Structure 1
Amino acid sequence: MKTHIKLILALVAGSIMPIQLGMPVQLVESVQQPVFAEFPLFLTGIMGLIIIRVL
Structure 2
Amino acid sequence: MKTFVIYYKYHVEGEKNPGPVRHYKLQADDERQAEQLLRRFANYKGLEVLRIERVA
Q: Which has the higher helix share?
A: 1
- Bigger radius of gyration among the two: 1
Q: Using CA pairs below 8 Å that are at least 6 residues apart, which structure has the higher relative contact order?
A: 2
